[in-house]
Amino acid sequence: MSCQPLEYPFGCCTTLYRSNFKSLCAALPMIRALSTKSERSCHDRRGSRDVLSNNDRGQRGLVMIEEEVDKKCTRNGGELVGEVLKAHDIKFVFTLCGGHISPVLVACERLGIRVIDVRHEVTTIYAADAVARMSGVVGVGIVTAGPGVTNTITAIKNAQMAESPVLLIGGAAATLLKGRGSLQDIDQMSLFKPLCKYTATVEKVREIVPTLRRAIYEAASGIPGPVFVELPIDILYSYPSVSTEFVGKSSDNGLLARLLRWYLLNHVNGLFAGAFTQRNCEPIPPKITMPSNRQIQSAVEIVSRAKKPVILLGSQTTLPPVPANDVKTALESLGIPCFLGGMSRGLLGRKNPIHIRQQRRQAVHEADVVILAGAVCDFRLNYGRILNKKSKIIAVNRNIELLYLNSPAFWSPTVGIEGDVGTFVLKLCDRLKGYKCPSDWLETLRQRDAEKENKNLEMAKQPTTQHLNPIKVLYQLEECLDDNSILVADGGDFVGTAAYVLRPRGPLTWLDPGPFGTLGVGGGFALGAKLCRPDAEVWIIYGDGSSAYSIAEFDTCYRHKAPVLAIIGNDAAWSQIKRDQVPLLGSGVACDLLFSDYHTIAKGYGGVGFRIDSSNGDEAISIIKQAQAAAKEGKPAVLNVLVGRTKFREGSISI
C-alpha cells in the first residue's frame, strides 16, 4: 500500500534545482539527456502513429492521430484502463489500494467492474488465477508500486507454472522521476520479465489501450500465462493534476527556472498528446496451436488397436476454447479408463465408471497404450519412469518443452502432439466412433480401485494416539458435501489425504496450486471461485500450517459477501516434512506448531468458527452441517479439526 503524501502524488519536480548559474550548468546535461530520452513524447503538430500490436496492424493498418493536448480535459488514464477491461468482459479486479493506482480502481467501479480489495497483494493474483481457471477469461490483479508489486511475485510464478492467464497491472513512479529516489521506485520490469509471457511499461497515455489489449491477447494465446503492465502514476491522473504537480506556479523567473518549466511542460504535453483519441478496445482473438489431421490420424490408428489403453489427464484439458463438459462427453464416448490430475479432477463427476482413482502406477505399467492428455512427465509421473517402455505413448500438450520433458532419458513418445488438449480429445472421439474399450480391462482397474478404497475405509476406522482420525473426518466431509461444491486445496499432508478421499462433483470444481506446490493459495482461490460461482459451496481444504498464509482473507470474503468454508486439519505440525525429517535426521526442529484456536480468527473477521476434537467428534457431521448453514446465511465459516497422526501417506513425496 502506498504511503505517498496525497498532496504530492507525483513528487515535486519544480524544486529539483536552484535558479543560479552553477545549477544551470549542472542541469543542462540532465535536461539534454532527458529530452533525448523523451523525444518521442514531445508535442508534435505533424501527428504520429498510434501504438498498436502487430496483430492489430495486420487487421487495421497503422492509424494516424493528431497529437493535440486538451489542457482542460479532466479525463485520466485510469478511465482508459477501465474501458479496456470492460471491453474484455472483465467482471472482477482484485487489488490492495495505493495512490499510484487509485484512478484505475475508481474508473473500474464507475464502469460496473467489481473492485475486490484484499488483505495482502499476493491474494490479488491467486484470486485472479482462480477467476481465469473458472471462467476462461483473463484474471486481473491491480497493485501499487514497489512492495505492492513485489508481494505478488510468488503468485505470478505459480500462475506461470500452472499456465493460468493473469494480467498484473502495477503502479510505478512518475516517468520523469524514475531512478531519482522517488517513493517505491524500483526496477520492476527486471523482476517480472523472467516470470511473464509479456511485460511492458506504458510511457504515454495514448499507449494505454493498445498495450493492455496486447497484454491480454498474450496472456490467453498459446500457452496461457501471466503478463505484467507497468503504469507510471503520471499517466493515470488528469492533465491539470499532472501539469500542476510537475510545472507548478513558481514566481521565479530566472533562466534556469524558465528552462526547467519549459522542459517539464514539454514533457507533460508529450504524456498527454493524443491521449483520448478514440481507439479500439475490443479483444484481439487469441492464437492457439491445434493438432493436425495427420497427428490425429496417427493417434487413431494406435488407439483403435489398443487392448489396455489408459488416459492420464492434466490441467490443460480444461482450457478454452473447448468447454470442459464437451471434453467429458467425448471421454465417456471413448470409454477408456481415465486418471485425473490437477484442474482435470472432477472432470468426470463424482462416480463415473471410467474414472479410476487408485493404483495408477500399476495400471500405467500394464497398459499397452497411454495417452498423456496434458499430463506431464515431471515428479508426478516419476519423470516418465512410471511409463512402460513397451507401451505406445501418445503425448499432447500446448507447451512443447513440457511435451518432451525428460524424454528420451526416461521415456519417449510414439506420437508427440503440440496442440490444444481439449480439441485433440474431441477429434480423437469423432474419428473413433464405434470404438469400445475392452470391458475386461476396465473391469480389472475398477476392481483394484474398489479394493484400495476399501483399505482406505479400514484405515479411517483405526484409532489415533490423540484427537481424531483425519481420514475419517474427510470421509465425513465427503458425505456432507453439496453436489454444487468446489474444493480448494491448500496444504501438505491433510490435503494429500483429502485427494484420495474427497470426490469433486463436476468439471472445474477442484483448484490446487499446480506443479509449483505453493502454500497460501487458499484464500485467494476460494474468493475467486465464489465470485465466479456465487451459488456454489466453496471449501478450502487447509493444513494448519498453510491456513496462516491466507486466513485473513476471511475478512475479505465477509466484506464482499463471498461466504466460503474452510476445514483445517490441525495436527500441530508441518507433518509432511516431519514424517521424513525425524527418521532420517533425528530431529523435528522447525516442524512443530500448536493446536491453535484457528476458528476464533474466523469469528474476529465476521464469520463463524467451530472446533471439532475428541470431545465432540461424534457430532462432526452435525457441526459440518451447521457451518454449511452459516455460509448460506452469508457468513464465512472455519472448522478447526484437531487430528492425530496416521500411516496413510508414509513414503509420499515431500521433497
- Give the residues across from 96 on adjacent strands: 143
Highest mean pLDDT among 53-67, 386-400, 640-654: 386-400
Structural domain ending residue among the three candidates 237, 272, 307: 272
374 has a pLDDT exceeding 90: yes
- Tell me, yes or no, whether 599 and 469 share the same domain: yes
Q: Which of 155, 226, 235 has the alpha carbon at shortest distance from 193?
A: 226
48 has a pLDDT exceeding 80: no
Q: What is the mean pLDDT of residues 582-596?
A: 94
Task: Confirm whether 36 is domain-assigned.
Answer: no
Q: Pick the residue with more confidence: 392 or 254?
A: 392
Mean pLDDT lowest among 5-14, 239-248, 448-457: 5-14
Q: What is the mean pLDDT of residues 648-652?
A: 67
Spatial separation of the C-alpha atoms in residues 233 and 149, rounded to whole Å: 14
Indicate the pLDDT class of residue 652, thresholds 50, 70 and 90: low
Indicate the pLDDT class of residue 258, thresholds 50, 70 and 90: confident
- Summarised one tens digit per residue, pLDDT across range 321-342 is 999 999 999 999 999 999 999 9
- Tell me, yes or no, whether 156 and 97 share the same domain: yes
Q: For cell 491467486, name the residue.
A: 126
pLDDT of residue 251: 64
- Total-model pTM: 0.89
Contact 95, 114 (CB under 8 A): no
Mean pLDDT lowest among 18-32, 176-190, 443-457, 517-531: 18-32
Termini Cα distance of the chain: 35
Task: Confirm whether 139 is domain-assigned.
Answer: yes
Q: What is the mean pLDDT of residues 475-495?
A: 96
pLDDT of residue 648: 76
Mean pLDDT lowest among 16-25, 159-168, 276-285, 621-630: 16-25
**5: which residues sit within 8 A by CB, 6+ positions away?**
none
Output helix, strand, coil percentages for the chain, rounded to the nearest 5: 45, 15, 40
464 has a pLDDT exceeding 50: yes
pLDDT of residue 37: 47
- Summarised one tens digit per residue, pLDDT across range 514-573 is 999 999 999 999 999 999 999 999 999 999 999 999 999 999 999 999 999 999 999 999
Task: Kindly state the helix (H) or strand (E) to which residue 127 belongs, with its residue range.
Answer: helix 121-135
Contact 529, 511 (CB under 8 A): yes
- Tell me, yes or no, whether 509 and 638 share the same domain: yes
Spatial separation of the C-alpha atoms in residues 108 and 185, rounded to whole Å: 25
CATH number at residue 530: 3.40.50.970
161 has a pLDDT exceeding 50: yes
Task: Confirm whether 45 is domain-assigned.
Answer: no
- Give the C-alpha distances (Å, rounded to integers) separating 63 from 57, 59, 76, 126, 217: 9, 11, 22, 37, 20
- Summarised one tens digit per residue, pLDDT across range 283-323 is 999 999 999 999 999 999 999 999 999 999 999 999 999 99
Amino acid identity for residue 452 in this structure: K
- Tell me, yes or no, whether 392 and 473 share the same domain: no
Instruction: Give, in degrees to the nearest 5, the angle at Cα 277 between 271 and 281.
Output: 105
Q: What is the mean pLDDT of residues 409-415?
A: 95
Spatial separation of the C-alpha atoms in residues 474 and 124, rounded to whole Å: 29
pLDDT of residue 67: 67
Task: Confirm whether 279 is domain-assigned.
Answer: no
- Tell me, yes or no, whether 548 and 480 share the same domain: yes
- Give the residues across from 311 on adjacent strands: 338, 371
Task: Confirm whether 5 is domain-assigned.
Answer: no
Q: For cell 501504438, name the residue.
A: 51
Structural domain ending residue among the three candidates 416, 445, 474: 445
Q: Give the percent of the chain with pLDDT over 90.
A: 77
- Tell me, yes or no, whether 258 and 350 share the same domain: no
pLDDT of residue 392: 97
- Summarised one tens digit per residue, pLDDT across range 192-236 is 999 999 999 999 999 999 999 999 999 999 999 999 999 999 999
Average pLDDT value for the chain:
88
- Give the C-alpha distances (Å, rounded to integers) separating 445 from 247, 355, 363, 365, 570: 75, 10, 7, 12, 34
Task: Confirm whether 425 is domain-assigned.
Answer: yes
- Report CA torsion sign: 306, 312, 315, 318: positive
Spatial separation of the C-alpha atoms in residues 11 and 4, rounded to whole Å: 9
438 has a pLDDT exceeding 90: yes
Q: What is the mean pLDDT of residues 599-607?
A: 96
Q: Pick the residue with more confidence: 433 or 368?
A: 368
Beta-strand pair 64-65/48-49: antiparallel
Q: Pick the residue with more confidence: 627 or 260?
A: 627
Indicate the pLDDT class of residue 15, thresholds 50, 70 and 90: very low
Instruction: Give, in degrees to the nearest 5, the angle at Cα 321 between 318 and 323.
Output: 55
49 has a pLDDT exceeding 80: no
Task: Confirm whether 111 is domain-assigned.
Answer: yes
Spatial separation of the C-alpha atoms in residues 536 and 37, rounded to whole Å: 53
- Give the C-alpha distances (Å, rounded to integers) separating 98 from 58, 558, 650: 38, 22, 47
- Tell me, yes or no, whether 130 and 218 share the same domain: yes
- Tell me, yes or no, whether 540 and 612 share the same domain: yes
Task: Confirm whether 647 is domain-assigned.
Answer: no
Indicate the pLDDT class of residue 433, thresholds 50, 70 and 90: confident
- Tell me, yes or no, whether 236 and 113 share the same domain: yes
Spatial separation of the C-alpha atoms in residues 231 and 138, rounded to whole Å: 19
- Tell me, yes or no, whether 187 and 212 share the same domain: yes
Q: Pick the residue with more confidence: 10 or 521?
A: 521
- Summarised one tens digit per residue, pLDDT across range 131-145 is 999 999 999 999 999
Q: Pick the residue with more confidence: 277 or 63?
A: 277
**95: which residues sit within 8 A by CB, 6+ positions away?**
101, 105, 115, 116, 117, 118, 124, 141, 142, 143
Q: For cell 471491453, name the residue.
A: 87
- Tell me, yes or no, whether 401 and 488 share the same domain: no
- Tally of domains in the chain: 3
* Domain coverage including residue 542: 462-642
Structural domain ending residue among the three candidates 392, 419, 445: 445
- Tell me, yes or no, whether 379 and 410 share the same domain: yes
Cα atoms found within 13 Å of the Cα of residue 566, Cβ hemisphere only: 39
CATH number at residue 424: 3.40.50.1220
- Give the C-alpha distances (Å, rounded to integers) separating 652 from 267, 373, 454, 492, 574: 60, 24, 20, 10, 14
